[in-house]
Structure 1
Amino acid sequence: MAQAESSTMTQTNGIAGIVERLARVVQWLAAPWLVKLILRLGLATPFFRSGILKWDGFAQVSSTAVYLFSEEFKLHLPGGPYSFPAPEVVAFLSGTGEVLLPILLVFGLGTRFAAFGLLVMTAVIQLTVPAAWPLHITWAAMALAIMALGPGRLSLDYLAVRLAGR
């Protein structure tokens, strides 16, 4: 009987030990600094890639981007859809935001501001392409998480706060 109890306890300790080790691995993988970095990189990537396509050179918006905002993209609001006002300006601002805000996110500089800017852009994109809401809600969730959690240790914001505190 004692041997059966010992065998059961060894199995329990063995399973408990495995579960404990797995929990430590999961906890390490989900470390807050890593989660925040992945959120920043994950949100920055699609916007930066889209922003790069809007330029033909330094400060030269592509004719394709202007065409899209003039002819293709419409705001789906009640009573609409409506054309974008001043498509050249909107293409320039969109391209600028889609390049600069992701760069800020990657470096973790003005991180909450950059995430808020991309959240606003996501809302406008949602009004423009309502059928893609599953993707847009993912972007919005990532932007909100960055705004709520902050940039994390691997960021210039964190470094600036530490240097200012010294």
Structure 2
Amino acid sequence: MGFNAGHVVQDEALAMRAAQAIRLAGLYAAPPVMRIALALPFLRSGLTRWDPFPTLSPGTQFLFEDQFKLHLFGRLVDLPSPTLLAYATACAEIVLPLLLLLGLATRLAALGLLAMTAVIQLVVPEGWANFHLYWAALALGIMALGGGPLSLDAALARLFRSRRAST
């Protein structure tokens, strides 16, 4: 049994192909999985806010008017315009997750959910370790990666590139 340089080169080429396959699988799988993981909790919450659309549920009205308070500098502060904020939140919790699921305006939708997460953190400060940190990490990752190749953003980009190339 001697040293065979051919085996080393062959093994290295196999390792390179495997690494490339894993990288491509990640590039295709990670963005939609991240989009789904961030969209679902917000969409589920948004679906509970209506009784039916366009009427806010009594529970949503109660939460925004009486229960939700901002924790600012050691003080509890009432939400500004709670009814308007409830409607805006209820709409955003439907629209932004749907955009994420479609991969349309993905970075903007992720930014919107990151902003919502920041406000939620001010309302429920003890939730940072269980939920908010993960939502923020997912939103930031989506903002960095975009919708990925399996998104409407990517399909539209391909369409516009092909139209530009043909003119």
Q: Where do 5+ consecutive residues of structure 1 fail to align?
A: none
Aligned residues, how many?
155
Q: Among 58, 70, 75, which residue is 2:70 paired with?
A: 75
Secondary structure at the aligned position of 1:60 is classed as coil
Query: Are the structure 2 counterparts of residues 159 and 130 from structure 1 closer, same or farther at C-alpha, using a change threshold of 3 Å?
Result: same
Give the 5 Å matches for 1:142-153: 142-153=138-149
Query: TM-score scaled by structure 2?
Result: 0.83
1:4-57 Cα offsets, whole Å, 9 max, x none, are x79xx9xxx9xx79x959x65981685212100100000000000001111111
Report the Cα offset of residue 79 of structure 1.
4.8
Q: Does 1:164 align with 2:150?
A: no
Runs of 4+ residues deviating >3 angstroms: 23-26
Secondary structure at the aligned position of 2:147 is classed as coil
Deviates more, 1:126-135 or 1:28-37: 28-37
Q: Among 108, 129, 135, which residue is 1:113 paired with?
A: 108
Q: Does 1:125 align with 2:125?
A: no
Question: Which is higher, the Rg of structure 1 or of structure 2?
Answer: 1
Q: Among 132, 138, 153, which residue is 1:136 paired with?
A: 132
Q: Among 49, 54, 66, which residue is 1:54 paired with?
A: 49
Distance across 2 between alignment mates of 1:113 and 1:149: 12
Q: Where do 5+ consecutive residues of structure 2 fail to align?
A: 163-167
Alignment match, 2:84: 89
Distance across 1 between alignment mates of 2:156 and 2:63: 40
Q: Among 27, 31, 34, which residue is 1:32 paired with?
A: 27
| CA-atom RMSD in angstroms | 2.4
1:115-147 Cα offsets, whole Å, 9 max, x none, are 000000000000010101011010000000000
Distance across 2 between alignment mates of 1:29 and 1:75: 43
* Identity fraction in percent: 44
Report the Cα offset of residue 88 of structure 1.
1.1
Query: Are the structure 2 counterparts of residues 29 and 46 from structure 1 closer, same or farther at C-alpha, using a change threshold of 3 Å?
Result: farther
Query: TM-score scaled by structure 1?
Result: 0.84
